[in-house]
């Protein structure tokens, strides 16, 4: 049994040949799945009924089921999906001036243990299959009736901890017979698994790499991110240089501002010395308070002051717009609430 939605057009071709079918059927099926978001073989009306039946029996087409859909006042929509094995993941649809963006999850839960993050509260269950990452986007596109032009792999999970599935996902979503997304419109966010950053650099993909830094030195970083015990900021910087050299893509550093933890003037100065030489972009995120975590957001003025300090040092910086705060906005909160409610 094949996971049809995870297969490339080439792989489908050999499957169809094996089944004694014409190879050109592969492209038809691929387009139904990846371009039009078909949820079942029944929708593929240009295939014979016999072939549709045989495919459904031998290689069922799996689709995510919407368990919950929340629509925010600002247009942001949050989806809780059920996977074929009953696990759940969440995804977010956001409208920007440049297009529509979907934030996808890459794993069921997470084992990275960042202290401020809700996604890691229930641990890691498993990595998602490429089909399950793709289908978050396909279902959302079908349900909203809108084109998705940007994807951020910033939902639950550590994408570089599910590396092979991530790569296949990127190849499929950028396929010209699929959604045909530009690699430039894809951002992958990682807590900084250094060897995997080098691997990714070799793939020659024009995607943006965002690194969750969240602290300007190892000592502070270790208090909020367990991964910092494994890789130092110096090692991350070297990996970023290699990534930039190989791809020509500037790195983004994500920095969640947590009041009293990483938002002092000195933190801003230290952060500038990391980002400056790399010409990295800094994305400041006012920390999203998670009930179980107890971290607090700084005042609007303290966030603005932090930004200004970085700018004075010539750093390219933006503050993440807060979207969907009224709908379990923070990473992993919707899924976590559902799990808590069912216990």
**Which residues are designated catalytic?**
90, 331
Among 90, 132, 135, 254, binds ligand SAH (CB under 6 A): 254
Asked if 114 touches ligand SAH (CB under 6 A), the answer is yes
Task: Give the nearer residue to ligand SAH in terms of CB position, either 112 or 172.
Answer: 112
Task: Give the nearer residue to ligand SAH in terms of CB position, either 19 or 304.
Answer: 304
Task: Give the nearer residue to ligand SAH in terms of CB position, either 44 or 211.
Answer: 211
Closest distance to ligand SAH from the beta carbon of 146 (Å) = 23
Task: Give the nearer residue to ligand SAH in terms of CB position, either 62 or 190.
Answer: 190
Task: Give the nearer residue to ligand SAH in terms of CB position, either 268 or 287.
Answer: 287
- Segment (H or E) for 319: strand 316-319
3-state secondary structure the chain: CCCHHHCCHHHHHHHHHHCCCCCCHHHHHHHHHHCCCCCCHHHCCCCCHHHHHHHHHHCCCCCCEEEEEEECCCCCEEEEEECCCCCEEEEEEEEECCEEEEECCCEEECCCCCCCCCCCCCCEEEECCHHHHHHHHHHHHHHHCCCCCEEEECCCCCHHHCHHHHHHHHHHHCCCCCCCCCHHHEEEEECCCHHHHHHHHHCCCCCEEEEECCCCCHHHHHHHCHHHHCCCHHHHHHHHHHHHHHHCCCCEEEEEECCCCCCCHHHHHHHHHHHHHHCCEEEEEECCCCCCCCCCCCCHHHHHHHHHHHHHCCCEEEECCCCCCCCCCCCCHHHHHHHHHCC
Asked if 208 touches ligand SAH (CB under 6 A), the answer is no
Closest distance to ligand SAH from the beta carbon of 242 (Å) = 19
Closest distance to ligand SAH from the beta carbon of 315 (Å) = 17
Asked if 116 touches ligand SAH (CB under 6 A), the answer is yes
Asked if 190 touches ligand SAH (CB under 6 A), the answer is yes
Spell out, one character per residue from 123 to 162, where the chain touches ligand SAH: x when CB under 6 A holds, - when not.
-------------------------------x---x----
Residues 28-87 that bind ligand SAH (CB under 6 A): none
* Stretch binding ligand SAH (CB under 6 A), from 20-28, 186-194, 200-208, 230-238: 186-194
The residue behind tokens 């179980």 is 292
How far apart CA 187 and CA 171 sit, in angstroms, is 14
The residue behind tokens 């629509």 is 71
Residues 276-335 that bind ligand SAH (CB under 6 A): 285, 287-288, 290, 330-331
Among 72, 77, 189, 262, binds ligand SAH (CB under 6 A): 189
Asked if 252 touches ligand SAH (CB under 6 A), the answer is no
* Stretch binding ligand SAH (CB under 6 A), from 140-148, 183-191, 311-319, 334-342: 183-191
Binding stretches for ligand SAH (CB under 6 A) = 112, 114, 116-117, 154, 158, 189-191, 212, 254, 256, 285, 287-288, 290, 330-331
């Amino acid at each position: 049994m094949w996971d049809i939605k995870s297969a490339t057009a080439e792989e489908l071709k050999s499957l169809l040949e094996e089944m004694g079918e014409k190879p050109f059927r592969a492209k038809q099926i691929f387009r139904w799945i990846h371009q039009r978001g078909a949820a079942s073989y029944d929708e593929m009306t240009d295939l014979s009924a016999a072939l549709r039946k045989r495919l459904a029996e031998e290689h069922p087409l799996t689709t995510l089921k919407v368990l919950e859909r929340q629509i925010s006042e600002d247009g942001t929509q949050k989806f809780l999906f059920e996977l074929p094995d009953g696990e759940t993941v969440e995804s977010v649809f956001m409208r920007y001036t440049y297009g529509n963006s979907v934030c996808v999850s890459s794993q069921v839960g997470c084992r990275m243990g960042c202290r401020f993050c809700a996604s890691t509260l229930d641990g890691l269950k498993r990595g998602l299959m490429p089909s399950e990452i793709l289908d978050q986007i396909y279902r959302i596109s079908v349900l909203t009736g809108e084109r998705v032009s940007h994807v951020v792999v910033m939902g639950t999970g550590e994408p570089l901890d599910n590396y092979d599935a991530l790569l296949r996902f990127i190849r499929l979503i950028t396929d010209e017979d699929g959604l045909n997304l530009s690699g430039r419109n894809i951002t992958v966010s990682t807590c900084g698994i250094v060897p995997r950053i080098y691997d990714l650099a070799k793939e020659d993909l024009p995607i943006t790499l965002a690194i969750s830094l969240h602290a300007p030195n190892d000592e502070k970083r270790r208090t909020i991110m367990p991964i910092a015990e494994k890789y130092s900021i110096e090692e991350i910087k070297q990996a970023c240089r290699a990534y930039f050299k190989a791809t020509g893509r500037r790195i983004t550093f994500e920095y969640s501002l947590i009041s009293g933890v990483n938002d002092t003037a000195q933190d801003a100065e230290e952060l500038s010395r990391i980002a400056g030489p790399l010409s990295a972009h800094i994305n400041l995120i006012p920390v999203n308070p998670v009930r179980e975590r107890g971290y607090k957001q700084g005042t609007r003025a303290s966030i603005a002051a932090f930004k200004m300090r970085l700018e004075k040092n010539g750093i390219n910086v933006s503050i993440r717009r807060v979207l969907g705060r009224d709908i379990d906005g923070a990473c992993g909160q919707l899924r976590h609430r559902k799990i808590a409610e069912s216990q």
